[in-house]
Amino acid sequence: MICSDAFKATADAMADVQGAPGYGYLTTPHPVAGLTPEQVRERAESVADQVARLLSE
Protein backbone atom coordinates (compact mmCIF):
# COMPACT_ATOMS: atom_id res chain seq x y z
CA MET A 1 0.00 0.00 0.00
CA ILE A 2 1.11 3.55 -0.75
CA CYS A 3 -0.45 6.66 0.77
CA SER A 4 0.47 10.30 0.74
CA ASP A 5 2.29 11.39 3.88
CA ALA A 6 -0.58 13.61 5.09
CA PHE A 7 -2.57 10.47 5.89
CA LYS A 8 0.00 8.59 7.92
CA ALA A 9 -1.95 8.86 11.20
CA THR A 10 -5.07 7.48 9.52
CA ALA A 11 -3.14 4.66 7.86
CA ASP A 12 -1.54 3.63 11.16
CA ALA A 13 -4.94 3.71 12.87
CA MET A 14 -6.48 1.60 10.08
CA ALA A 15 -3.72 -0.98 10.53
CA ASP A 16 -4.55 -1.10 14.25
CA VAL A 17 -8.32 -1.61 13.80
CA GLN A 18 -7.67 -4.27 11.15
CA GLY A 19 -5.56 -6.17 13.65
CA ALA A 20 -2.25 -5.48 11.93
CA PRO A 21 -0.42 -2.88 14.03
CA GLY A 22 2.84 -1.80 12.42
CA TYR A 23 1.69 -2.97 8.97
CA GLY A 24 4.32 -1.95 6.43
CA TYR A 25 3.34 0.59 3.76
CA LEU A 26 5.02 3.30 1.73
CA THR A 27 4.39 7.03 1.69
CA THR A 28 4.78 9.60 -1.03
CA PRO A 29 4.83 13.38 -0.48
CA HIS A 30 1.45 15.10 -0.28
CA PRO A 31 -0.32 16.37 -2.39
CA VAL A 32 -0.96 13.99 -5.25
CA ALA A 33 -4.33 15.23 -6.61
CA GLY A 34 -2.97 18.08 -8.74
CA LEU A 35 -0.07 16.21 -10.37
CA THR A 36 0.18 15.92 -14.15
CA PRO A 37 0.33 12.42 -15.67
CA GLU A 38 4.08 12.95 -16.20
CA GLN A 39 4.59 13.90 -12.55
CA VAL A 40 2.63 10.82 -11.47
CA ARG A 41 4.96 8.67 -13.58
CA GLU A 42 7.97 10.29 -11.91
CA ARG A 43 6.47 9.57 -8.50
CA ALA A 44 5.89 5.94 -9.43
CA GLU A 45 9.46 5.55 -10.63
CA SER A 46 10.80 7.12 -7.45
CA VAL A 47 9.14 4.49 -5.23
CA ALA A 48 9.43 1.46 -7.55
CA ASP A 49 12.48 0.04 -5.75
CA GLN A 50 10.83 0.46 -2.37
CA VAL A 51 7.67 -1.27 -3.64
CA ALA A 52 9.73 -4.23 -4.83
CA ARG A 53 11.52 -4.38 -1.49
CA LEU A 54 8.31 -4.22 0.52
CA LEU A 55 6.67 -6.95 -1.55
CA SER A 56 9.62 -9.28 -1.15
CA GLU A 57 9.90 -8.83 2.62
Residues lying near other proteins in the complex (CB under 8 A): 7, 9-10, 13-14, 17-18, 33-36
CB nearer to other proteins: pick between 8 and 53: 8
List Cα–Cα distances, 52 to 2, 22, 39, 48, in angstroms: 12, 19, 20, 6
Q: Smallest gap, in angstroms, from Cβ of residue 37 to other proteins?
A: 9
Q: Smallest gap, in angstroms, from Cβ of residue 10 to other proteins?
A: 6
- 49 vs 46: CA distance, rounded Å: 7
DSSP lists the bridge partners of residue 13 as none
CB nearer to other proteins: pick between 11 and 47: 11
